[in-house]
Structure 1
């Protein structure tokens, strides 16, 4: 396996852990900032008990674009094609990792950004990430995405979920 293929596989596995291991939830309203409570699943917070819905890491308030930033969507698709598509589908179908459909309805933008940029600490300390690891049985390694890469992947996920 080449280093490029290995790194692509690692990113895909990483995204699998957070993307869709748990069931869908209610949609939350989008705003330009995310200071509101997290969406819920089955009457509970999308984060597991003891887990911050924004995750663990530097991302405390991700500014969302309205409408979607098409340049970021395209950049995110490029990253997905190279590093994620071998493990994830954009549907709800599981491949190596879970499908991405609905992930932006189940997780806050901050949680997603923190997970893809602070993977090891999230898996070590975030209850929601740990619970998904138990279900998925695949530990997502850190892919070393830049902040811009991670934000572009988030915008691609939002586009995939039909956000405008």
Structure 2
């Protein structure tokens, strides 16, 4: 029995060391070359985004948001979304939790800016100096909550309600 175990172990050892062929080079890029490539691409993307950045509209697809009429049903839907995705970090007051409070945000920012930011925060955080200052205060980058356009519009309407829209 001891001989069988020895032969099995020798066979297994031989099989493990013989796999891999006679390949002399490593075809997998090193981590440092990947990091350098990613850093260069990220830097170029950030420069392009900064060039397109509009501090009144933000950075994103939302260009003309009609807020001429307040929609209470939309605000109620936005409140439900906010309770699930936003209120663990934001309060409907001016009090900071993890992120800043929402009171007054619709007075300080345009509807387009708000929708662009809440629907895809990362590109705006990377280029907006005010958001970068906010990040220094809050110490936590706002995560992308994967809001649809409808979700973002409903959350905006809830924010407008907080600020007194009727």
TM interval, short-chain normalised: 0.5 to 0.7
Question: 1:133 and 1:163 mapped to 2: Cα distance?
Answer: 28
Looking at both structures, which has the greater relative contact order when contacts are Cα pairs under 8 Å and sequence separation is at least 6? 1
Please tell me whether the aligned partners of residues 58 and 114 of structure 1 are also in contact (alpha carbons under 8 angstroms): yes
Write out per-residue CA displacement over residues 109-160 of structure 1, whole angstroms, 9 at most, x where no aligned residue.
1110010112111111222222221222210111100000000000000001
Alignment of 1:51-90 (within 5 A): 52-66=55-69, 68-90=70-92
Correspondence for 2:161: 159
Query: Once superposed, which parts of structure 1, at least 4 consecutive aligned residues long, lie more than 4 Å away?
Result: none
Please tell me whether the aligned partners of residues 77 and 156 of structure 1 are also in contact (alpha carbons under 8 angstroms): yes
In the alignment, structure 1 residue 131 sits paired with structure 2 residue 133:
yes
Q: Among 147, 150, 154, which residue is 1:148 paired with?
A: 150
Question: 2:162 and 2:142 mapped to 1: Cα distance?
Answer: 21
Alignment of 1:1-164 (within 5 A): 52-66=55-69, 68-164=70-166
Q: CA deviation at 1:83?
A: 1.3
Question: 1:154 and 1:97 mapped to 2: Cα distance?
Answer: 16
TM-score of the superposition, structure 1-length normalised?
0.65
Q: CA deviation at 1:96?
A: 1.6
> Which blocks of at least 5 consecutive residues in structure 1 are unaligned?
1-49
> Which blocks of at least 5 consecutive residues in structure 2 are unaligned?
1-52
Give the RMSD, CA atoms, in angstroms: 1.5
